[in-house]
Amino acid sequence: MADVVFFEKPGCGGNARQKALLEQAGHRVIARDLLGEPWTPETLRPFFGDRPVADWFNRAAPAVKSGEVVPEAMDEASALAAMVERPLLIRRPLMQVGDRRDCGFETGRVDAWIGLDGVAAAGKIEGCLRPDMPPCPKP
């Protein structure tokens, strides 16, 4: 199975469920703090591949939810600059296996990439598990 470098927000319940799915499928998860990583546009950009810029964003981030940041109005350079400045804007998790990188946890996409070995995800697996609640506390 794969060694998965998994950039997460420590304490995030959604990221905890995603890591558990990967481990149940036999992968080794190497967790890293997404918020503490010294991101640059050059180190961050490869995680988004050919996804539209708006899909790079964490829709549960307070600045996105409040309308302060409008992902659909941003170009690549401004999105990367905003995310480097405020990593909470980055769609989680960021994952790396070997040279390949990706963002978010779409089970079909992850299964096609590294395999989930038939492990079924029950309920919501990506995004905030508590959309009606205030943002998770900072770790």
Helix (H) or strand (E) holding 21: helix 13-24
Distance separating alpha carbons of residues 48 and 103, to the nearest angstrom: 6
Q: Is 136 a catalytic site residue?
A: no
Distance separating alpha carbons of residues 139 and 3, to the nearest angstrom: 25
From the CB of residue 12, how many other CB atoms can be counted at a distance below 10 Å? Answer: 19
State the catalytic residue, choosing from 12, 103, 128, 136: 12
Distance separating alpha carbons of residues 102 and 45, to the nearest angstrom: 10
Distance separating alpha carbons of residues 75 and 107, to the nearest angstrom: 27
Helix (H) or strand (E) holding 111: helix 107-114
Q: Say whether the peptide bond before residue 93 is cis (omega within 30 degrees of 0).
A: yes
Q: Which residues are catalytic?
A: 12
